[in-house]
Structure 1
């Protein structure tokens, strides 16, 4: 079967995490910003659009569909492209998160160790008070949790380096066998991440940080309790307000994916809730991202209409605002909204 004009222009396109541009067809002036397979000058072939990525060394690949046959060389080339972009975005996000957590743990220990040194004097008297025991226990446990979190962060960074996301396809050549072997290695390691629950570990690390903060609050209140109970009550009230706000913004994500309060802890709690409450034999979204996409599919027409209204109001250029107004008028005059209309099929709006 022959390919349509649209698929002749574009086999696939995927933007880098650092840009929002997607090229819908060959655009020689923008090849540095888009990763994709585009029609090459050679008939019946595709090549990588982004010059500078490791996969660009593979050059041009045949059209993946010729008649009833599937060219596996093009399939593995597409796998290289998609897997490279997926791993790069995912591992960059994880690495940045771990760096922030390491920095926070360092600051936490720098604050709590001097305070623990000071409060330990309360245990040196003949009859330590209950507040002294609570204070020192809470601060000591919080410090241990923070150090444990920092240790896990370091381990996770080493584990991610062992995956070698950026170098998995670096040794592959233009031969289909080498590309396929590199794809097998990447898939093997990717399944290992899921099998041994590394994403869950990464999402659970913030729990240790939050527990250490609770311990710090308890220790601080206990320390002030023996000195000035009025101040201790004020600090306790502020801590409870912060705790309630944090709990509310975290838990709301488990029930409404549109809430903007997404954190690693919210993702972790959603997965736990899914495992505990999902009925056997009934399919449910396993992650917040899947739940979000399910919600989007249920509101496609509404979101399309509001998107062109936003473009009409907020477009930076008069031409784009005119396009938004024309699309809005076409949506209003059509009984059936969504991607089946000709607005998004490539026709001109203005």
Structure 2
């Protein structure tokens, strides 16, 4: 066991505070990672504030982890001390179900599903703690390699924001000749724009206002529209092959579905805390689909990192000290970040 410093929420909705946690001893197939940077995802806030239901406290959030391997177990073959690595939203799964065997560990159908990086209980019966900490011990099969071309600070958010947008864009065949709309230009949305453009798609940003239009165009979008203007939905009716919805607030889904072409898909990667409703007539007439996507498996996460390195895609970040975490949470809720807060864990 190793005692490390961390920032944790002691209870639901409580401010995060500095504390210490115990990390397990390095097992046969484990790697010990010295965490250098940890991204702040809106999911961290949903869970720390129990927006998605009852949670486990104290909670150390953080599933966008980038660091360097400092120790390996005797059975480890994939990594060596000094390797640049990342850890995303999960640290284990059953490894035996069809999805796990297919590299879709995020959809594990084993008992309890995947073991999430935090706010979960591992196979050892102990709670998992995330990346707002100095070190983490993870089985080598749930660690990915960060290519040398990606600085660790801008790579950290790719472990959630990158794979959460890359996976559906690949699955629904975004590429040349396809028109992709990205709803929301935040932590997820800005990576969705970058990745869709790099895949060769024609990208449109749909945002409440035109406040971030210049940013959206610089990130790779060809078009930018304000959804607060009713004329937007009239003008764009039947336009898109794919709509990637990155916001975690309830929308008028019927209005957005009207923007799809025949056989188009609206894919949701944000999870609202409130119920949402649609009319079946919104999908009936043109064989449109309303779907969702959750992060990506370990092989696809590695593929995404390699793709981002090849295309020089990192997150747009604001680097903060650990003592700014609570302020950062409020700014995320108020959409006051361009586009991802990343904690310099040396400040913990």
Q: Determine which structure has the larger strand proportion and give its number.
A: 2
In our comparison, the structure showing a higher alpha carbon Rg is 1
What TM-score does the superposition give when structure 1 sets the normalisation length?
A: 0.23
Higher relative contact order (CA 8 A, sep 6+): 2
What TM-score does the superposition give when structure 2 sets the normalisation length?
A: 0.23
Q: Determine which structure has the larger helix proportion and give its number.
A: 1
